[in-house]
Amino acid sequence: MIITFCGHRDFQGNSILKERLTDELLVRAGQTDTLVCYSGGYGGFDYFAAHCVKEAQTKAKNIRNCLVIPYLTVSFQERIKEYNGFFDEVIYPALENVPPKYAILHRNEWMVDRADLLIAYITHGWGGAALTYHYAKRKGIPTVNLAEAKKA
């Protein structure tokens, strides 16, 4: 099973959301041989989700934490160094023919196209996270929006 994350860059987590996401990951890990989690490594929600995956890995050994990068640039090599030891794998989809302006969008679509589930934190309808969320909805990928679950 593959889970992809998307959420707003300015997201700030809390202990309730951390527990909710970590529990969701542990439930999903119990339903499969291997749970692969894709994160783009940008902004608040991606960082939060990756931390929750790392937390879940302490309780379930069948979870993989993967960073999916849109560029093979020096700045991304530095970003990968920042995350040294944090992710189990760094993936670069074949995006070399995509103009840099669109690489993040294409990377996000690549992650969604492989996902069995998208876990998001979307509070407004603009920006890259919202585009990714709506792309998953159009593709028929099951979604969990933690922002909506928070209101319930």
Cα separation of 71 and 27, whole Å? Answer: 33
pLDDT by residue (tens digit) across 21-31? 999 999 999 99
Given 3.40.91.10, 3.40.50.1400, 3.40.50.450, 3.40.50.1820, which CATH number is that of 2-151? 3.40.50.450
At residue 73, does pLDDT exceed 70?
A: yes
Under DSSP, is residue 10 helix (H, G, I), strand (E, B) or coil?
coil
Q: Where are the domains of the chain?
A: 2-151
E strand segments, 92-147 = 117-121, 143-145
Give the residue among 5, 22, 15, 21 at the shortest CA–CA distance from 56: 22
> What's residue 74's pLDDT?
67
Q: Is a pLDDT exceeding 70 seen at residue 55?
A: yes
Question: Under DSSP, is residue 35 helix (H, G, I), strand (E, B) or coil?
Answer: strand
Q: What is the pTM of this model?
A: 0.91
